[in-house]
Structures are given as structure tokens and as C-alpha cells.
Structure 1
């Protein structure tokens, strides 16, 4: 009986994995609204009822498919002047060939479920990292959102819209252009403008 249960568990795990892979690809290429359970099931080589069995709804499938861990670096372990370069380089490593992030960004601008996912990633993963290096704790949210605007703007241009001039930039060029800006957002003294 144990061998049968083990075999069923492996099949179930393989089915879940196939569904999640197909869902990430569909959400990344089609966005939330156009990605259908039927198309995802076809891509996974299963019946659509299996998708519903495992994930309950399209929203449940999206949440499972785009469980993003940015694996942010520990900024306290870096020389202060290297923070911008480290963050931009890390960001590029994550986005190159990562369908989950493309799906989150594409869906984030068109659907509430995606927007909520982006907000939770910002709150739970980016804010704590910026807090490590920010000179004033009260400025952490503003500095983190400025970093996010730079990096997500590049991601939208390069990985979602695929603007030719953004795609043509080499990794080294992107780091050279963006690292000083991100560095300033995270570590520079406040510019002195009163809110």
C-alpha cells in the first residue's frame, strides 16, 4: 500500500509542477485576463478539472504560480558604496529568464490580484532590505518606492514591452546607468525638500 501511495504522491507532485510551469508561462505571455484554465491545462497536458482540483480557482492558481522570493542580498554585508551596484545586479539576475516575475509585473498592471502580489513583494521583501542601509528609518518607504520605480520601469520596458532600445542595452550598461541612481535613493542624504 505504501508503494502505491508513494507513486500517487509522485504523480500528484508532477501534475502540480506541470500546472504551475504552464501557468507561469501563460500568465507571463498572456496576462491574467487572457490566460485561461483551459489553455493552462492544455499546456500542462491535463484535463482542466485537474487544475481546479489542485488550485480551486484562477486566483488560487495565480497565487501559487507566482509565489516570488526575490532572495534579496544582505546589504549589511556589503561596502556602503557598492549597494546600488549590488541591487541592480541582483535585480538583473532575477529578471533574466524568470517567467514568474514577468507574470507578476504583467498582471500587476492589469489586474487587482497582480497588483496585490506586487504590493506584498514590495512590503515584505524590498522594504526590509532598504531599511538595512537607509540613513533615516522614516524615509525607508519613500526610498524603497523610488528604487522600485526605477527597477520596475526597466523591467516593464525590457521584459514585458520589450522596447528595442531597452532590450539592446547590455547588462554592463544597465548597471552603469542605474546603479548610481539606486545608490543615491538608498544611501544619500535627504535632498532637503519638505513634504
Structure 2
């Protein structure tokens, strides 16, 4: 006789769906994932996924949401800012499949692009504005372009020389650029 189905709380079901979605989106990106596949992985009916999340884009947005947990940069010596930032970014890039999934999907999905922009405007830009010598929005955008480009070429495209470099070597190349963007006088005067 088959075992009776186990009971799940709504919270546990929702969490199981999100875990399944993170795994699927991390492997296949936004376009190749179907709601029914996420549901099957979570052991629920696809209608339940829609009930909890409203659809694939909303599910993706929630599955891709994460907290960068950026450290407080105020008070750090200028020559430590880039190292501290890069340590945190490397930790996210190497241990949070949700971020890489979001990065992959941002080029083709308006929902993913909006989610990525939300991470930037809600977490990165405010943290960098605290230490930028002036023009914080422009400086944060420049840092964002550098770190997103780095993440894309190293972890998504896996460009061989860059993917083969150790963290310290990447930091030695990129760190001075980040510090220049944030702390040097504006080239515009």
C-alpha cells in the first residue's frame, strides 16, 4: 500500500517551489524553464505554482532575488575598498546560482533585467554612494559596468584567460579601476 502523501505547510510548499525554481533557472536560464518543470521538481501541481507566484516571470523575479550583503565601506582606507568589494562579489558569483541565472537572463528577459536593475539601485548604488567622492550615481554605474562585465566574462562566457585567473590576480587588475571610479577626482573637473 502506498504511503499517504506527506503534509506540507503553505510556507514549506512555497519554499520548495522557490528552491526548485532557483535550481532550474540556474541551469537553464529564464527562457528554457517551464512552470510545469519547476512544479514537478517541487512535487506539486503547476497550478499551485501559479497560485503562489502568479506566473513564470514573477516566480523568476522572486527566485532570483537575493541580498548581496555588501559590507559597510565607510571608514575603510581607499586602498582596501576594491579588495573588500571584490571579496564579496566573488562570494556571490561563486556561491549564488541565482545571481548568475539572473545575469544570464537579463539580456533577454525584461523581468530579469528589471530584477538585476533592482539589485543595483537598491543595494549596490547606495553602498557605493556612501564613499564616492562626488557624482555617486555615475561612479556607481561605472563600477556596476565593470563588475557585471567581469562576472559575465568570467562566469557565464568563461573567457579562458580570465576564468583561469585566481581571485587575487583578478583583484590586482580590476581593483585599481574600481578605486579610480569611486575615489579619484572626476576627469570632468
Q: TM-score, normalised by structure 2?
A: 0.89
**Structure 1 or 2: more helix by fraction:** 1
Matches of 2:19 and 2:159, distance apart in 1:
26
Q: Aligned pair in 2 of structure 1 residues 77, 45: CA closer, same or farther (>3 Å)?
A: farther
Cα displacement (A) at 1:105: 0.6
Aligned with 2:108: secondary structure? coil
Matches of 2:63 and 2:165, distance apart in 1:
29
Aligned with 1:38: secondary structure? helix
> For residue 42 of structure 1, what is the aligned residue in structure 2?
40
| Structure 1 contact 88–182 (Cα < 8 Å) conserved | no
Matched, 1:153 2:149: yes
> For residue 51 of structure 2, what is the aligned residue in structure 1?
53
What is the alpha-carbon root mean square deviation over aligned residues? 1.7
| Structure 1 contact 84–183 (Cα < 8 Å) conserved | yes
> For residue 188 of structure 2, what is the aligned residue in structure 1?
192
The superposition leaves residues 10-61 of structure 1 with CA deviations (integer Å, 9 ceiling, x where unpaired) of 5332222221111112222222121110111222232222211211211221
Number of residue equivalences: 184
Aligned with 2:95: secondary structure? coil
> For residue 88 of structure 2, what is the aligned residue in structure 1?
90
> For residue 161 of structure 2, what is the aligned residue in structure 1?
165
> For residue 24 of structure 1, what is the aligned residue in structure 2?
22
Q: Which residues of 2 match residues 75-154 of structure 1 at below 5 A? A: 75-136=73-134, 139-154=135-150
Structure 2 unmatched ranges of 5 or more: 1-5
Cα displacement (A) at 1:176: 1.3
Aligned with 1:33: secondary structure? coil
Matches of 1:75 and 1:124, distance apart in 2:
16
The superposition leaves residues 94-120 of structure 1 with CA deviations (integer Å, 9 ceiling, x where unpaired) of 111211101111111111001111111
Aligned with 1:76: secondary structure? coil
> For residue 172 of structure 2, what is the aligned residue in structure 1?
176
> For residue 3 of structure 2, what is the aligned residue in structure 1?
none
Instruction: Write out the 4+ residue segments of structure 1 that deviate beyond 4 Å after TM superposition.
Output: none
**Which one of 20, 30, 33 corresponds to residue 31 of structure 2?**
33
| Structure 1 contact 25–103 (Cα < 8 Å) conserved | no
Structure 1 unmatched ranges of 5 or more: 1-6
